[in-house]
Amino acid sequence: MSAEVLRVEKLDAGYGKFHVLFGVDLVVRQGEIVVLLGPNGAGKSTLLNAVVGMADVFGGRVVLSGRDITGKPPHEVMKMGVAYVMQSPNNFGTPNVFGELTVYENLLAASIGLPRDEVSRRIEEVYSLFPKLRELRDRKAKFLSGGERQMLAISLGLMKKPTLLMLDEPTAGLAPKLVGEFFHAIKEIRDKLGISILLVEQNARKALEIGDRAYVLVTGRIKYSGAAKELDEEKLASLFLGG
Ligand SMILES: Nc1ncnc2c1ncn2[C@@H]1O[C@H](COP(=O)(O)OP(=O)(O)OP(=O)(O)O)[C@@H](O)[C@H]1O
């Protein structure tokens, strides 16, 4: 069995006095796509927030490639190899791209600190993942469509070649035709770049098709963990309804 990239253990977390997660256990292994599903407000984003120190941890721990990172601030966790593409818009009012910069400038900004030849290599990598971005390289991010912006947001997360990529509803609000393209790209990120992925999705059926394992979170508690293939629509519906 491959090494664990992320281990969340008995995690209790929330915001201030507001408790959202209760005893959550979750693991992402090297090379896996792990899908996290659950009804609105279940705490999926909070779980990702807690991993990167953007939610308060009341108990339990978060371990990244064997190192305890519980409660570490976002910049430290990201430096240790986690990329987090937040939902947009999100509760923190944080945009996931730099609106005033062009696509190319965004990519450069996300690669500060990398050697120049590596920057070019990474930019080529994301252009081959999302060819549209090459065409749009000189457009300011604030003028991109929702789908184009989302391609850029994911690309920014990839610039430093993370060990773990956490995607929060990357296909939300996208045209159905584009949704398939995104799922294909997500699979490519794992297959070609070897990056492990924790994916929060509302589009359960498509996510389960590319996922290896899945978790279902309902009102802050894990109600299912197992093979993605074994989670059929009937089982999922019953879990969402509290069955
Ligand atoms: N920054 C925050 N401060 C305070 N409460 C928050 C914050 N973010 C989320 N919450 C609350 O935490 C609970 C869980 O929200 P969260 O966004 O984690 O759920 P979710 O499963 O990701 O939902 P959705 O599928 O609708 O995005 C909700 O009651 C929400 O109102």
Residue 43 CB–ligand 1 contact under 6 Å: yes
CATH number of the domain residue 230 falls in: 3.40.50.300
- The answer to whether 179 and 210 have CB atoms below 8 angstroms apart is no
Among 161, 178, 210, the domain boundary falls at 161
Q: What are the tens digits of pLDDT across the range 19-45?
A: 999 999 999 999 999 999 999 999 999
pTM of the model: 0.95
* One domain for residues 7 and 73: yes
Count of structural domains, the chain: 2
What's the whole-number mean pLDDT along residues 145-159?
94
Strands 221-227 and 33-37: unpaired
Ligand 1 center to 46 CA (angstroms): 6
Binning pLDDT at 50, 70 and 90, where does residue 87 land?
confident
Structural domain boundaries, residue 116 = 90-161
**Which residue minimizes the CA distance to atom 7 of ligand 1?**
91
- This model of the complex carries an ipTM of 0.96
Q: What percent of the chain has pLDDT over 90?
A: 84
Q: What are the tens digits of pLDDT across the range 105-121?
A: 999 999 998 999 999 99
Give the position, in ligand 1's atom list, of the atom nearest the Cα of 54: 1
* One domain for residues 149 and 221: no
- The answer to whether 85 and 96 have CB atoms below 8 angstroms apart is yes
Residue 20 CB–ligand 1 contact under 6 Å: yes
Residue 50 CB–ligand 1 contact under 6 Å: no
What does 129-163 look like in DSSP terms, one character per residue?
HSHHHHHTTTSBGGGS-HHHHHHHHHHHHHTT--S
Q: What are the tens digits of pLDDT across the range 204-242?
A: 999 999 999 999 999 999 999 999 999 988 898 898 887
